[in-house]
Structure 1
Amino acid sequence: MKKWGKLGMALWLAGHGVSLLAAGTPGEFAGASSMLIDEQSQAREVVRSIPAGAALERFVMKDAKGRNVAYVALTEGDTGGVVFVDGKLAGVLDRRQTQAFYSCRGFATANQQYWGKLADQWAGSLLQQMKPASSVQLAFSGKSAVQSIKSIVDNPLIGQVKSLLDMGTNPLNIVKTLNKSRADLKEKVRNDELIAALAKLEPGDDEGKLAAILLPQDVNFLGDDVIMAYPKYSVDYLVQHGKITLQQQPSFLQLSRGQAALFYRPGVEWSKCTPGDWPMTVS
């Protein structure tokens, strides 16, 4: 078992290759099988540190009381989800609760009612449903560590190596392949720089700060509010009154438009998927 109190690592969500708050760092998860979260643990570091395959979703937000609320839902182990308030562990939920919370917010978003518009109400009910905790130990199987086959296959550098091996001796092919490799490397460097800049953003930051880093790849307007979505990284930023109030990964806007089946659970009374009634769908 290893305690993660001051370790600044990144969570790579499966299939997306980027964290909500920081760039990934392959290799640092190797051998990690458990994590102890206690009063000394910092939410930002914990949220970054949970292995990709062990995380269903996560978000950070600022509620109506000005508190920073962070949440991570897990895919394995005895604990379903962990909640932090103002950077400190506040409580835990079981897996049935986290699945219901996930599905109902997905249902609302898929029905053109992006959950973040009422994030304060959703978070409020989440805090009511959690079981207060001063410590919790999480266990990970390691099957989806950042050094998994999937991560390696998705690594663009592997594609560059394969291209170099396959380019043959034709001078034209060599030039084309080398130019593509250089372009890919430049893109990777640029991508890393963008991720590092996005890593510094927090709820409460100005909309302009996010736009200056990277213009949104998708946008949804909710009255005066704006969802700035980045499908490449599968992350949403909700902007209200010119301020970032919510960061959500994976992007619920993206999933609701093309992968809404991920929110499905059999036997759910979907009409109860509201900020106040979603706990009634727990089964």
Structure 2
Amino acid sequence: MKCHQIRPAVRYGALLLPLLCAQNALAKAQTVQVSATQDARKVVTDFAPEAVMERFEVKDSQGKVWHYLALTEGEPGALIFEDGKLSGKLSRRDAAAFYSCRGYATATRRHWGDDADAWLKSLVTRAEPVTELSITLPEKPTWRSIVEVARNPSLSDLESLVSMGTNPLNIIRKLSSARDNMAEREAYQKNAQRLKAVTTGAKELQLAEIIRPEDVSFVPGGLVMAYPKYTVEFFVSAGQVRLVQQPSFNYLSKTRAALFYAAGMNWDRCTPQQWMQAPAE
């Protein structure tokens, strides 16, 4: 179906046109250029979520800030940014192992952020240096993309309008429900943008003032403030945000651990030092 063939049945349906056109646009493969001249945080946070398996920002014990962006398909499997600049890439195999092993460690021992320095050290050692590259985005989201892991609930009313039919009473009910939820959607989008702006080094109180966490876990090195609805979590230590992780590994490890499963893995090797040896040969 082409976008110009869509005929909204009601005035409110005009909102559907950009949504459906955007969905059609996802079907076209795109190429993205990434280089060391670009700001790391902007690249990582603005990257098409349909193509992202995970992303995080972490401040190590020396005060250096690292950004990590793992992709759902193709090569490279992930990008690494050191102090705001692209510095390395990871293979698809290693990116998948890094994802699964940290999920396993979070589920069976403690949140991986508590050992962030050790995980980062092995990650950087394993990475191949690079200062620029081209990435071809997938034609559609995969089951591990952050879009599929937790879809934006603010779209649910718009999507329901597509199938509301032509019954006048049904239309009125749907539109009334959409209007009632408009304030909730606006609040969601506002909070999402405010959470997106939180960086490592921010104070715990500043984060809590945005919105109360939906899930909290207390760990030896601090606590994890998770916002599953917003697909993000914050590892807080000594009153400051040390790690920003999307999606929330802490929440998924308790509710959807199957996302971290990979056949033939040697799970005993899922440590900061041996994760690259965990996949089946």
Q: After the TM superposition, which segments of 4 or more aligned residues of structure 1 sit over 4 Å from their partners? A: 26-32, 148-154, 162-167, 176-179
Partner of 1:38: 35
* Counterparts in 2 of 1:43 and 1:64: CA distance versus 1, 3 Å: same
1:81 is matched by which residue type in structure 2? A
Is contact 1:39-1:135 (8 Å) kept? Answer: yes
Partner of 1:267: 264
Deviations 1:25-79 (A, max 9, x none): x959766611111121111121133322321111111011111100011121221
Q: 2:63 aligns with which of 44, 63, 66?
A: 66
Is contact 2:104-2:260 (8 Å) kept? Answer: yes
Find the aligned partners of 1:56 and 1:156 in 2 and give their Cα distance. 22
Q: With structure 1 as the length reference, what TM-score do the two structures score?
A: 0.80
1:213 equivalenced with 2:210 (yes/no): yes
Find the aligned partners of 1:242 and 1:152 in 2 and give their Cα distance. 29
Q: 1:254 aligns with which of 251, 255, 280?
A: 251
* Counterparts in 2 of 1:135 and 1:224: CA distance versus 1, 3 Å: closer
Find the aligned partners of 1:153 and 1:219 in 2 and give their Cα distance. 21
Equivalent residue runs for 1:212-231 within 5 Å: 212-223=209-220, 225-231=222-228
1:96 is matched by which residue type in structure 2? R
More deviation, 217-226/89-98: 217-226
Find the aligned partners of 1:218 and 1:112 in 2 and give their Cα distance. 18
Q: 1:75 aligns with which of 72, 75, 83?
A: 72
Q: With structure 2 as the length reference, what TM-score do the two structures score?
A: 0.81
* Counterparts in 2 of 1:53 and 1:164: CA distance versus 1, 3 Å: closer
- 5+ residue gaps, structure 2, are 1-20
Equivalent residue runs for 1:61-140 within 5 Å: 61-140=58-137
Q: Aligned with 2:89: secondary structure?
A: strand
Q: CA deviation at 1:129?
A: 0.6
Q: CA RMSD in A?
A: 3.0
Q: Aligned with 1:127: secondary structure?
A: helix
Find the aligned partners of 2:57 and 2:130 in 1 and give their Cα distance. 19
1:187 equivalenced with 2:184 (yes/no): yes
2:222 is matched by which residue type in structure 1? D
Is contact 2:218-2:224 (8 Å) kept? Answer: yes
1:63 is matched by which residue type in structure 2? D
More deviation, 205-214/73-82: 73-82
Is contact 1:203-1:244 (8 Å) kept? Answer: yes
Is contact 1:163-1:177 (8 Å) kept? Answer: no
Partner of 2:155: 155
Is contact 2:161-2:174 (8 Å) kept? Answer: no
Q: CA deviation at 1:181?
A: 2.2
Find the aligned partners of 1:107 and 1:169 in 2 and give their Cα distance. 50
Find the aligned partners of 1:151 and 1:246 in 2 and give their Cα distance. 22
Is contact 2:114-2:220 (8 Å) kept? Answer: no
Find the aligned partners of 2:120 and 2:82 in 1 and give their Cα distance. 11
Find the aligned partners of 1:40 and 1:169 in 2 and give their Cα distance. 56
Q: CA deviation at 1:178?
A: 5.1
Q: Percent identity at matched positions?
A: 36
More deviation, 61-70/260-269: 260-269
1:168 is matched by which residue type in structure 2? P
Find the aligned partners of 2:219 and 2:181 in 1 and give their Cα distance. 36
Find the aligned partners of 1:151 and 1:200 in 2 and give their Cα distance. 20
Find the aligned partners of 1:78 and 1:61 in 2 and give their Cα distance. 23
2:156 is matched by which residue type in structure 1? P
Is contact 1:167-1:177 (8 Å) kept? Answer: no
* Counterparts in 2 of 1:72 and 1:169: CA distance versus 1, 3 Å: closer
1:119 is matched by which residue type in structure 2? A
Q: Aligned with 2:76: secondary structure?
A: coil
May I ask how many residue pairs the two structures share in their alignment?
A: 254
Q: CA deviation at 1:124?
A: 1.4
* Counterparts in 2 of 1:122 and 1:27: CA distance versus 1, 3 Å: same
More deviation, 66-75/177-186: 177-186
